[in-house]
A and B are shown apart, each in its own frame.
Chain A
Amino acid sequence: MSSNQFFNHQGPWSDATEPLMCTDTGDWRTKRPVVDREKCIFCGFCAIYCPVQVMEMKADYFEPDLGFCKGCGICAKECPKNAITMVSEGEFVS
């Protein structure tokens, strides 16, 4: 018997008709990762190490989903080419 027959729905605590809970964790951020697309060699290290898993694969570079990126700075630290800079969110306030 396949397990999928039993587990193709949401977890037992959830109501399958309601969407998953989601917090705007992007609001927590004090620094924003900015990717230099020219420097990026498309190795994917930033993506695998990001705890929130928000580094999205584009044509030949990676880019964070800023709606949920918590600004931890792991991607910038782990990038072998230093293609990611953590920039203070204050810089982006217009």
Chain B
Amino acid sequence: MAEKKKGRLTNVLDYLKHDDPFSKGVAFCPGCGLELLLRFIPRVLGNDIVITGTPSCSAPVLLGQNRQSWHTLSYFGTLMTGAAANATGLVRYYKKAGIDNTVVCFNGDGTANDIGFGNLSGAAERNEPFIYICYDNEGYMNTGIQKSGTTPYGATTTTTPYGTVHRGKNLRRMNLGLKMAMNKIPYTATATLSDLEDLAKKLLKAKKAKERGFCFLHVFAPCPTGWGADPADTIDICRQAVKSNYFPLWEAENGKIRMTKTVKKPKPVSSYTKMMKKFNHMTEKDMKILQEDVEYEYCLLGGLSVLEAECQLPVSAEDGGEKL
């Protein structure tokens, strides 16, 4: 028989240096982006990290039940309101005790952007030396798919339904990653599951940068159950989100933004939204609003990434603005 044609094994496998600490059968929905992310992090960063987390879709698996666990990691379950404050306590204790390890504060967007934002902001201000990872499934999934601050314009959730009165969420999505990068913390990055090598590199960079202080990763992680998507499409949804600039990939060291992937010809955002039911009802007019919002945020990112090179005064100070 002729020798079988072989390709090259993907580079991503080189980053998976450690064992998977989770048992094989854990309770996440089929095709869940969160599951892939959660298994990936300790395989890249090592099994000796300490994870903290809140009530969310990750909690049933991270917490364990009765006296048994689903994994061999050290985990500290906290309240949604105090996620980053609890992680702060942990790193400070470790520092005093002279223990060198990595604390990963792992939370959903509901905790990071909304309910636990106050103390996330405080930890960033004080530059606490741990890694905060927000997995963004664009809503409060564990309590039944309610909208969060990162739910995009138009998306239906159980609190922003589509019907005779409402047409999905009528507010725009907040940009959590940029919000954090603006604090000039040592490392901020966005990442997603279609670009796993990029994600692995960013995790390793964060592990190093946390020696200098607070690190924040914003990871786009689709939820097929809540978004009405085919579980098989999870990775492709991430890919389309990047290709349409809906979720651009960038990193910022000390606030200085650098794109880690640029898309030559961005696809219309409809190539992304058509992959899930939560956007099914959207008309051309609705889509235009979402498209313009995506373009606005991308321009903002572009502007910020050249800021250091050609810093300009805000327009109003030059012309038109009131002179004092």
Binds A, one of B30-38, B117-125, B251-259, B300-308: B30-38
B292 at the interface (CB under 8 A from A): no
A24 at the interface (CB under 8 A from B): yes
Can you list 30 residue pairs at the A/B interface with Cβ under 8 Å? A1-B97, A6-B99, A10-B72, A12-B75, A12-B76, A13-B63, A13-B68, A14-B72, A18-B67, A19-B68, A21-B64, A21-B65, A23-B25, A25-B25, A26-B25, A43-B7, A43-B8, A43-B9, A44-B9, A48-B10, A48-B12, A52-B24, A52-B35, A52-B39, A67-B24, A72-B30, A72-B224, A73-B230, A73-B231, A77-B232
Query: What residue of chain B has the Cβ atom nearest to residue A78's Cβ?
Result: B235
Contact A20 to B72, CB < 8 A, known contacts A25-B25, A41-B7? yes
Contact A74 to B48, CB < 8 A, known contacts A3-B100, A43-B7, A48-B12? no
B271 at the interface (CB under 8 A from A): no
B4 at the interface (CB under 8 A from A): yes
A4 at the interface (CB under 8 A from B): yes
Q: What is the size, in residues, of chain A's interface with B at 8 Å between Cβ atoms?
A: 53
> What is the count of residue pairs linking A and B with beta-carbon distances less than 8 angstroms?
153
Distance, CA A10 to CA B35, complexed state (A) = 20
Chain A positions within 8 Å of B48 at CB level: 3-4, 7-8
Chain B positions within 8 Å of A71 at CB level: 30
A88 at the interface (CB under 8 A from B): no
B57 at the interface (CB under 8 A from A): no
The 8 Å CB contact of A11, one of B4, B8, B72, is B72
Chain B positions within 8 Å of A25 at CB level: 24-26
Distance, CA A57 to CA B9, complexed state (A) = 11
- Give B residues with C-beta under 8 Å from A: 4-10, 12-13, 16, 20, 23-28, 30-33, 35-36, 39, 47-48, 50, 63-65, 67-76, 97-101, 193, 196, 224, 230-236
Contact A72 to B65, CB < 8 A, known contacts A11-B72, A28-B30? no
A17 CB to closest chain B CB (Å) equals 10
Contact A14 to B10, CB < 8 A, known contacts A6-B99, A53-B20, A74-B232? no
- Give A residues with C-beta under 8 Å from B: 1-4, 6-15, 18-26, 28-29, 38, 41-45, 47-54, 60, 65, 67-68, 70-74, 76-78, 80, 86
